[in-house]
Amino acid sequence: MSRRVRIGILTPTLLALGALFAWAIAGLPAFGDYRGPYGLVLNRVVVPLRHTTNVVMGTTFDVRGVDTMGEEFILYAAVVGVTLLLRDEVRSRQAERRTQRLRSDAVRLLGIVMIGGGLLVGLWLVSFGYITPGGGFQGGVLLAGAVLLLYVVGNHRDYGPLRRQHALDPLEALGAGGYVVIGLAALASGTAFLTNLFGHGKAGTLLSGGSIPILNWASGIAVSVAMLLLFAEFLETYVVPLEPEDSGS
Amino acid sequence: MSYLPYAVAAWICLVGIAGIATSRNLIHLAICLTVTQSSSYVLLLSVGYVKHGKAPIFKGIKLGTTAVDPVVQALTLTDIVVSVTVVALILALALDAHRLSGTVDPDGLADIKG
């Protein structure tokens, strides 16, 4: 299909879709006029029942914990998919390009400060995720981002140990598998899959939420490792690993 | 004004689709797809907004305070994860397409055979 024909079809289609959207929006309750019962119910019951002050995370890891497990496996599947798609690429591009070591001290200093800050904020977001704003997914992404800054401030070789995927694979398995194990533990103890097992603790402290902190950490690990693995795949495609013998400086 | 957030979501979606359809670069196409997908975040969050509601995190605010819907926020989280995975796969496919055909223009991929 030529570009012209495509744009010719696109314009009326978008107009029609826009009209449908306008029609749909006209039938919605006004912004802020919330009608659904679930949000109000959850806001009322999650804290008394689970002692998790962050209701969003209480919802993610308890009320709809099974969905979140599916979500983790979506990420897992993406990592597997990207690895499979890029597996030939990695070999065919050996020794084509080399990156220069970063020369600006200012950028390097800022980067090193940001790596420390990023790791700290990431760990805080994961560990306090079910109490204050945050959570395993958000913190996991930030942790991975902090590690990836190594690549910006150093050169790709500093990122090298992390590029050896088999070093990261067990962690990814721990993250994704840990979630399932917690679910199965509930099953083994005679209740439904992913039932919250442990005592609910004191609301607003790290020892609250029963299984939620463990599931939170499991997804934090799974997400950060999945991100690192994804980036590692792309980096390996673009940045050629130097051979061990010519590793000067 | 009370429909503005929904209209913004619809607009982002339309602009994203237009970008995908007219794209001349697979990487640009992937970014346009993220734009389209982010319309769903805006829509989900606006649907869950309660007038004068606080964030549904009851640390520091009293239990029972009016708060917005946590379900759609959790859904948005899922949405973002899906978006990231889809973009990762598209970029990997773009790399493959570039390796096979030497171009990242979607129109140039027509001659690729199985």
ipTM score of complex = 0.85
Average pLDDT, chain A: 83
Q: Who's near A160: CB < 8 A, 6+ residues apart?
A: A241
Among A235, A94, A86, CA closest to B93: A86
Q: What is the pLDDT of residues B9-54, one digit of tens each?
A: 999 999 999 999 999 999 999 999 999 999 999 999 999 999 888 8
Give the confidence band of A246 by pLDDT, cuts at 50, 70, 90: very low
Q: In this predicted structure, which of A190-204, B29-43, B49-63, B75-89 has the lowest mean pLDDT?
A: A190-204
Q: Find chain A residues with C-beta within 8 A of B51's C-beta.
A: 32-34
CA distance B27 to B21: 13
CA distance A182 to A200: 15
Give the confidence band of A91 by pLDDT, cuts at 50, 70, 90: low
Length of chain B: 114
Q: Find chain A residues with C-beta within 8 A of B85's C-beta.
A: 74-75, 77-78
Of residues A188 and A246, more confidently modeled = A188
Report yes or no: B100 at the A interface, CB cutoff 8 Å.
no
CA distance A30 to A45: 26
pLDDT reported for residue A10? 93
Q: Are B91 and B98 in contact (CB under 8 A)?
A: no
Q: Are B105 and B97 in contact (CB under 8 A)?
A: no
Q: Who's near B77: CB < 8 A, 6+ residues apart?
A: A56, A60, A71, A135, A137, A138
Query: Hey, what amino acid is at A117?
Result: G
Six-digit token string for A208: 């609250």
From B10, B51, B63, residue closest to A25, measured CB to CB: B10
pLDDT reported for residue A221? 93
Q: What is the pLDDT of residues A10-33, one digit of tens each?
A: 999 999 999 999 999 999 888 988
Report yes or no: A7 at the B interface, CB cutoff 8 Å.
yes
Q: Who's near A105: CB < 8 A, 6+ residues apart?
A: none
Mean pLDDT within B80-98: 90
Q: Find chain B residues with C-beta within 8 A of A134's C-beta.
A: none
Q: Helix count (H) and strand count (E) of chain A?
A: 10, 0
Among A229, A89, A79, CA closest to B85: A79
Q: In whole angstroms, what separates CA A114 from the centre of its chain?
A: 19
Q: List residues bridging with B67 in a β-sheet.
A: B54
Q: What domains are defined for chain B?
A: 4-111 (1.10.287.3510)
